[in-house]
């Protein structure tokens, strides 16, 4: 079979059982359910169990995707994990997942692009498959973001949660209508300071002196980030649609990065789409960074909201800044 296109053949996701509600948070920091719900749409988020690492969340999501695909782990050619909360600096979380699921024949590495990570990873996998170098790929977005949260900072701790989603990609030939189409990626490192975890790496190692100021937690200029997120996601979505020969009217469902319900509403407004075409689960999980899109994709697929032949638009924005959008025919 001559491979010219790439499609997603199956998805899977895993969310930890433990729920942290807005009311729970209001006992930890000076906040309220009313403030969090009105400003973000978030009602609760999931917290990884004691001892559960990002690779555990990722492996559970991967096994569900493999089951949906009817594939065995040793059939996988490539595993890419998008994460900003790797188990450790190295080995890559993808290598740890490989071991945990028994994907003995896969090449494995991680991608760091914050909340855009899954869409970046999707594009990288697509290049491997399109070039014929690999026949299939497991792409995972997985985060234990609560490991980077400062529970004393109400500006950020209410926003994030843990979870993982996975997709299995395969090469297909011209006869397949289901395929990935236009894709846009962008980055602007000059705005890196607006959203970052400044410490814990080589630039600012954690020391006894600086540990108390928690540099190894998420720092964000919320209002500025919000503006860039809306602008970049709308631009990326429009560009990916134009590349694919479609307009927003053709889209059956948008799966946007889930950071804030107001961001999703703003994108719907600018693209001229009704809200029922915007998939939203931020109310249940908060922002799980690279995991939001694959988790949403899996929930939409399992709920029967993705029908064969549908035009699906994925769009993300995150730290870096980074952004990306992909159009696919389901
Ligand atoms: C973070 C965010 C929800 C804040 O909403 P906002 O409407 O911009 O609110 P502001 O930051 O302007 O803060 C408004 C006030 O609420 C306060 N506040 C912040 N967090 C609060 C909380 N959890 N509970 C109660 N009050 C809070 C602030 O201290 C501020 O008070 P002040 O006016 O007395 O200074 C919003 O900016 C956002 O979602 N930004 C983008 C986040 C994002 O997308 N990040 C990831 C990108 S991938």
pLDDT given for residue 1 in this prediction = 59
Report the predicted TM-score, pTM, of the whole model to 2 decimal places. 0.97
The residue contributing the CA closest to ligand 1 atom 47 is 318
- Determine whether 237 is exposed, middle or buried from the number of CB atoms within 10 Å of its CB (0-12, 13-18, 19+): buried
Instruction: Please say whether the beta carbons of 101 and 164 come within 8 A.
Output: no
- Is residue 290 within 6 Å of ligand 1 at its C-beta? no
Ligand 1 contacts CB of residue 226 (under 6 A): yes
Integer Cα distance of 160 and 150 in angstroms: 11
Q: What are phi and psi of 276, to 5 degrees?
A: -70, -10
Q: Please tell us whether the domain made up of 179-329 is placed in CATH 3.40.47.10.
A: yes
CB–CB of 285/295 below 8 Å?
Answer: yes
The response to whether residue 40 sits with its C-beta less than 6 Å from ligand 1 reads yes
Which residue puts its alpha carbon closest to atom 30 of ligand 1? Answer: 155
Q: Can you give the pLDDT at residue 53? A: 98
Which of 20, 35, 36, 39 is the best mutation target for the ligand 1 pocket, counting ligand atoms within 8 Å of the beta carbon and taking the most? Answer: 39
Say if ligand 1 is within 6 A of residue 259 CB: yes
Beta bridge partners of 78: 107
pLDDT tens across the length of the chain (330 residues): 576 899 999 999 999 999 999 999 999 999 999 999 999 999 999 999 999 999 999 999 999 999 999 999 999 999 999 999 999 999 999 999 999 999 999 999 999 999 999 999 999 999 999 999 999 999 999 999 999 999 999 999 999 999 999 999 999 988 889 999 999 999 999 999 999 999 999 999 999 999 999 999 999 999 999 999 999 999 999 999 999 999 999 999 999 999 999 999 999 999 999 999 999 999 999 999 999 999 999 999 999 999 999 999 999 999 999 999 999 999
- Judging by DSSP bridges, how do beta strands 311-318 and 253-256 pair with one another? parallel
5-172 is classed CATH 3.40.47.10:
yes
| Nearest atom of ligand 1 to the alpha carbon of 31 | 24
Please indicate whether residue 158, judged by its CB atom, sits closer than 6 Å to ligand 1: yes
Contacts of 216 (CB under 8 A, 6+ apart): 148, 197, 199, 200, 206
Alpha-carbon Rg for the chain, nearest whole angstrom, is 19
Residue 309 backbone phi and psi in degrees, to 5: 95, -10
- The β-bridge partners of 254 are 278, 313
Q: CATH 3.40.47.10 occupies which residues in the chain?
A: 5-172, 179-329
**Cα gap 146→144, rounded to integer Å:** 5
Query: What span, in angstroms and rounded, lies between the C-alpha atoms of 153 and 139?
Result: 32
Find how far residue 118's CA is from the centre of its chain.
5
Give 225 Cα–ligand 1 centroid separation in angstroms: 10
Element (H, E) at 87: none
pLDDT at res. 4: 82
Structure tokens at 151: 């529970």
List Cα–Cα distances, 189 to 196, 293, 321, 323, in angstroms. Answer: 11, 23, 6, 12
Residues annotated as catalytic are: 115, 257, 287
């Amino acid at each position: 079979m001559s491979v010219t296109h790439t499609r997603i053949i199956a998805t899977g996701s895993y969310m930890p059982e433990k729920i942290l509600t807005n009311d729970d948070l209001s006992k930890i920091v000076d906040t309220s359910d009313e403030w969090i719900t009105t400003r973000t749409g978030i009602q609760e988020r999931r917290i990884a169990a004691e001892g559960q690492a990002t690779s555990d969340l990722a492996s559970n999501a991967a096994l569900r995707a493999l089951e949906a695909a009817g594939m065995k782990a040793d059939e996988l050619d490539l595993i890419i994990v998008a994460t900003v909360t790797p188990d450790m600096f190295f080995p890559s979380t993808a290598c740890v997942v490989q071991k945990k699921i028994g994907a003995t024949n896969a090449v494995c590495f991680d991608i760091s692009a914050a909340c855009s990570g899954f869409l970046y990873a999707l594009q990288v996998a697509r290049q491997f498959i399109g070039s014929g170098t690999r026949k299939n790929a497991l792409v995972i977005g997985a985060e234990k973001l609560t490991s980077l949260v400062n529970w004393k900072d109400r500006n950020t701790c209410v926003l994030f949660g843990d979870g993982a989603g996975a997709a299995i990609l395969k090469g297909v030939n011209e006869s397949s209508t289901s395929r990935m189409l236009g894709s846009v990626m962008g980055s602007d490192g000059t705005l890196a300071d607006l959203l970052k975890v400044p410490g814990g790496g080589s630039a600012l190692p954690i020391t006894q002196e600086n540990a108390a100021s928690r540099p190894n937690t998420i720092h964000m200029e919320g209002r500025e980030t919000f503006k860039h997120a809306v602008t970049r996601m709308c631009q990326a979505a429009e560009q990916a649609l134009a590349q694919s020969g479609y307009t927003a009217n053709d889209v059956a469902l948008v799966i946007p990065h889930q950071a804030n319900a107001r961001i999703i509403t703003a994108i719907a407004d600018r693209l001229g789409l009704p809200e029922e075409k915007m998939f939203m689960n931020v109310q249940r999980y908060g922002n799980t960074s690279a995991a939001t899109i694959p988790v949403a994709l899996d929930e939409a697929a399992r709920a029967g909201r993705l029908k064969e032949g549908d035009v699906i638009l994925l769009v993300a924005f995150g730290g870096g800044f980074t952004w990306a959008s992909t159009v696919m025919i389901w």
